[in-house]
Chain A
Amino acid sequence: MATPSPTPPPTPARRLDWPAAALSYLLPGLGQVLQGRVGKGVMFFVCLYGLFFYGLWMGQRLNVWVPEPSKLPDIGLPLFGRLSGTPKALAHRPQFLLQVGIGVAAWPAIAQYVAHDPAADPAGPPAVPFLKDYMLAPSETKLNDLQRPRDTTFDLAWVFTVIAGALNLLVIYDALAGPVVPDDEEFPARPSPKKSGAA
């Protein structure tokens, strides 16, 4: 008769570092740097900002933006019905939901979206003066011109920025709770708390 195998000890609960997670959202790797994992934080920053801005460069800086919803056709989703305002804009440009995961680097698109006045003259002064047309939703004519050539680099470019934003979600989790696979040498099991009933 087989003897029952002993049950493994429970895995110690991880301490969640919410401030570090927030910092890693703002700037990839910043939370890790403040936790003392400087090399890894710098590696995250270089890789993710490198990937994001490389994609932005490939797309001629015209692939991170939120469209103006008043100019878009109506769109409806099951359970939500007909969308309007920001949900409508994001439904037409769902890439931005992951692009914004890169943190501060994608915030100019939000600033442009918030400050943009659809009734304003397109040839007038920019809504956000110091940004000019950076991450401003491009005109449909410009987008069509970019996608007309046989070269598909423009279409690949936004994928780079989306992957950078999505990868930063993993970096945020790493700052929050540590690596997915804890290295035993670096994360020793915490001593079990003393039983309150012990004499």
Chain B
Amino acid sequence: MTPLFALSIYWHFPVLIVAFSLVYSGTHHDRWDRILREAAGWVVKITGFLVAVGVVLYGLSSWL
């Protein structure tokens, strides 16, 4: 079975997550402190969601 992070597709996600978080937050605020704080929050939320989905799917594929 393929290890969870052996597939190269996952290594492209940081580019998407960082760009999305910065741009989305940048359209909500004009002050850099607020932009960066909201962007950091989005990075954590999106990464957490993707990791959770990945772990669940990996578990299902491993034990079912």
The interface of chain A, by Cβ under 8 A from chain B, is 37, 39-40, 43-44, 47-48, 50-51, 54, 58, 151-153, 156, 160, 163-164, 167, 170-171, 173-174, 178-183, 185-187
* Contact pick for A183, options B16, B24, B27, B30, CB 8 Å: B30
What are 26 A-B contacts defined by CB distance under 8 Å? A47-B19, A48-B19, A50-B15, A50-B19, A51-B16, A51-B20, A151-B7, A153-B9, A153-B12, A156-B12, A160-B12, A160-B16, A163-B20, A164-B19, A167-B19, A171-B23, A171-B26, A171-B27, A178-B30, A179-B28, A179-B30, A183-B29, A183-B30, A183-B34, A186-B30, A186-B31
Q: Is the interface of B mostly helix, strand, loop or mixed?
A: helix
**Docked pose: A40 CA to B12 CA in angstroms:** 24
Residues B5-61 near A (CB distance < 8 A): 7-9, 12, 15-16, 18-20, 22-24, 26-32, 34-35
Beyond A160-B12, A181-B29, 14 additional contacts (C-beta under 8 Å) are: A40-B35, A43-B22, A43-B23, A44-B26, A47-B19, A47-B22, A50-B15, A160-B15, A171-B23, A174-B26, A174-B27, A179-B28, A179-B29, A183-B29
In this complex, what residue of B is CB-closest to A52? B19
Which B residues are closer than 8 A to A by beta carbons?
Answer: 7-9, 12, 15-16, 18-20, 22-24, 26-32, 34-35
Number of residue pairs A-B, CB distance < 8 angstroms: 72
**Closest chain A residue, CB of each to CB of B2:** A150
Question: Which of chain B's residues have a CB closer than 8 A to the CB of A58?
Answer: 12
Find out whether the CB atom of B24 lies under 8 angstroms from the CB atom of A167.
yes
Using known A-B contacts A43-B22, A54-B15, A163-B20, determine if residue A151 contacts B9 with beta carbons closer than 8 Å. Answer: yes
Most buried by B among A43, A48, A50, A54: A43
- Check A40/B16 contact, CB under 8 A, given A47-B23, A153-B8, A170-B24: no
What is the minimal beta-carbon distance from B9 to any residue of chain A, in angstroms? Answer: 6
Cβ contact within 8 Å between A170 and B23: yes
Shortest beta-carbon distance from B12 to chain A in Å:
6
Complex Cα gap A156–B9 (Å): 8
Is the beta-carbon distance between A170 and B27 smaller than 8 angstroms?
yes
CA distance A153 to B16 in the complex (A): 13
